[in-house]
Structure 1
Amino acid sequence: MTYPDQLYRSALNALSKAICLCNKEGRILFMNSAARGLTGWKGEDELVDLSAAPGRIEIEGRSFLCTIHQIQDGGDSVFVAELKSSYEERSENERGRWDRFLAGAALATNQLLITEKIDPALAQSLEFLGCSSNVDRVYIFQNYDSESGEHHCKLSYDWSREGLATGNEKLPPLDVSYSQPIPWYDSLSQGMPMRGLARDQPLQSRLFLQELGVLSFLIVPIFTKNGFWGFIGFDDRSTERIWTWGEVSVLMTIAGAIGGSIDRWQTQAALAQSERQYRELVESANSIILRLDRAGDIIFINEFAEDFFGYPKKEILGRNVIGTIVPAIDSEDQDLQRMVADLIHDPSKYASHINENMRSNGERVWIAWTNRAVKNEKGDTEEI
């Protein structure tokens, strides 16, 4: 053996990684000490199939995960395989599973932020969480109290893994009492998630979970600004699983995002309802109601004003009040254009004011106005 050969063999043997060199036919040329210890290879003449299973090779009857690189040695090809131990393979699988889990959590959170309506947002979020965590079911229950004051929860959203045998699998019940069969209200209402294997639960809870076909579970409470709102649950019905606290902490963050989003959607719904009621009130009022921007352009006019002045909305919106419903100079030679400019500058001077107006047919009319400024959060007037 030449000195350069001895040198590179010594260098490879010093590595902690398991390295195997093969020629293009798959014949093992060399294994460093780490690879010999991992595979148990005794140095016999042995061939390995480098293409049978991409990313894996079989040595001494055992299959190993590997990364293969091809290098040129003169005119010959040599393949360098870095072998993984079963521990490294498990660790790599765990990292991949964790990465998928975090990606699903990120997608679910993003869905909660960007989707305007609650139903599609939560439905899509459950799908992301279910697929990324590889569970069989994900669901959300919302709390309510019965007429007798007993704590209950009802199924609001549910996702099932594709291919789950729905004929043999039971859905979560649509309505559950917190006192029977699983007394979890106190723990969940204090922010404590519940997790475990069905077979390890107290008898009553175990029978309930086994009846549903649940092998393991995770329940995470959801809180809104009004308190304990409900929970999100994860069921495994094919294999048992012990959720790590790292996974639980991520899902507690997701539950917090769900609670915050519910608050936002409820606020938006209340505002929309308030706006509908306001518009109904304004449109049904037997008074002239309109809004002007700071330039004096008309940005809203109610139906009564449309009929009174003879302008349909599509014709008058965006036009200036001067020349449409207010003449520049009234019949008494008062400068109404200057008056409108002064009104916009200081609405308080014209809180109650009578001035001449005109209809679309040119008819002049006198109207008593009540004017009020609409201000932004900085206190600046935005509308009249």
Structure 2
Amino acid sequence: MIEVFTKISEATKLLLEKGFTPLHASSALSMVGSALKVDRVYIFENQPYPIRGRMMADARYAWTVPGLTSPLESSTLQSVCLRELAPQWSDLLSQGHIVTSLTKDAPPRMKVLLDDHKTRSMMMAPLRPAKEWWGFVGFDDCQQNRVWSAEEVILLKSLASGLSAALRHRQMRSSLSQTRSQLREMMTLSVNR
């Protein structure tokens, strides 16, 4: 488990230093997924505004072992309404809790989606870079009906915390960049008067 904690630290450092870009996020998820020996690691982002009154989430970043479909390549994993697929899971994640399940024990509609993606067991944790629930990170095991250990749950919480910090850092960088641009525009306008 020390190796996995090390990879989570390296992944978080990469995202903080290099930025939360698709390339760096994929590298970070690859480090963690390989160390934990899972088949898929993914990050879903909640859409900021409900569509037709439904809160949706999109697969934004992912790493997958060769031979499996990436969530980024699957149309069924874009605009996912978690509340409709697994209402209790949606409630748990929005309240800051971890969700773990074997596919065979998942709510019926979620079970169909997991089966379609060859998932045998999964675990998800919420991402909260600020007060609002931003999205979630998850692990899939497509080889076995994996019952996640207490240590693996702690590892996922650690990863979710690191990812949330990196997302918060990205948001702060973006806000600072916007402020700089506005100040430059104001200075340009005042000089040109």
Same fold (TM over 0.5): yes
Alignment match, 1:159: 63
What TM-score, normalized by structure 1, do the two folds share?
0.45
Contact residue 41 and residue 138 of structure 2 kept, 8 A: yes
What SS does structure 2 have at the residue aligned with 1:228? coil
Instruction: Provide the C-alpha distance between the structure 2 equivalents of 1:166 and 1:113, rounded to a whole number of angstroms.
Output: 28
- Residue identity matched to 1:193: I
Alignment match, 2:27: 124
After superposition, where does 1:173-188 map in structure 2 within 5 Å?
173-183=77-87, 184-188=89-93
Deviation at 1:233, TM superposition (A): 1.0
Contact residue 54 and residue 81 of structure 2 kept, 8 A: yes
Deviation at 1:220, TM superposition (A): 0.8
After superposition, where does 1:184-223 map in structure 2 within 5 Å?
184-223=89-128
Contact residue 103 and residue 132 of structure 1 kept, 8 A: no
Instruction: Provide the C-alpha distance between the structure 2 equivalents of 1:165 and 1:286, rounded to a whole number of angstroms.
Output: 58
Contact residue 136 and residue 164 of structure 1 kept, 8 A: no
Query: Is 1:105 paired with 2:1?
Result: no
After superposition, where does 1:244-255 map in structure 2 within 5 Å?
244-255=149-160
Instruction: Provide the C-alpha distance between the structure 2 equivalents of 1:124 and 1:166, rounded to a whole number of angstroms.
Output: 17
Instruction: Provide the C-alpha distance between the structure 2 equivalents of 1:226 and 1:99, rounded to a whole number of angstroms.
Output: 30
Query: Is 1:230 paired with 2:132?
Result: no
Query: Is 1:281 paired with 2:183?
Result: no
The alignment covers a number of residue pairs equal to 187
Instruction: Provide the C-alpha distance between the structure 2 equivalents of 1:146 and 1:202, rounded to a whole number of angstroms.
Output: 22
Instruction: Provide the C-alpha distance between the structure 2 equivalents of 1:108 and 1:218, rounded to a whole number of angstroms.
Output: 19
Alignment match, 1:266: 171
Contact residue 46 and residue 134 of structure 2 kept, 8 A: yes
User: 1:150 is matched with which residue: 41, 47, 54?
Assistant: 54
What TM-score, normalized by structure 2, do the two folds share?
0.86
Please, which runs of 5 or more residues in structure 2 have no aligned partner? none
Alignment match, 1:257: 162
Q: Percent identity?
A: 27
What SS does structure 1 have at the residue aligned with 2:97? coil
RMSD of aligned Cα (Å): 2.2
What SS does structure 2 have at the residue aligned with 1:220? strand
Contact residue 15 and residue 24 of structure 2 kept, 8 A: yes
What SS does structure 1 have at the residue aligned with 2:77? coil
Report the structure, 1 or 2, having the larger strand content.
Answer: 1
Please, which runs of 5 or more residues in structure 1 have no aligned partner? 1-97, 288-303, 305-384
Alignment match, 2:37: 134
Contact residue 142 and residue 156 of structure 1 kept, 8 A: yes
Instruction: Provide the C-alpha distance between the structure 1 equivalents of 2:86 and 2:107, rounded to a whole number of angstroms.
Output: 9
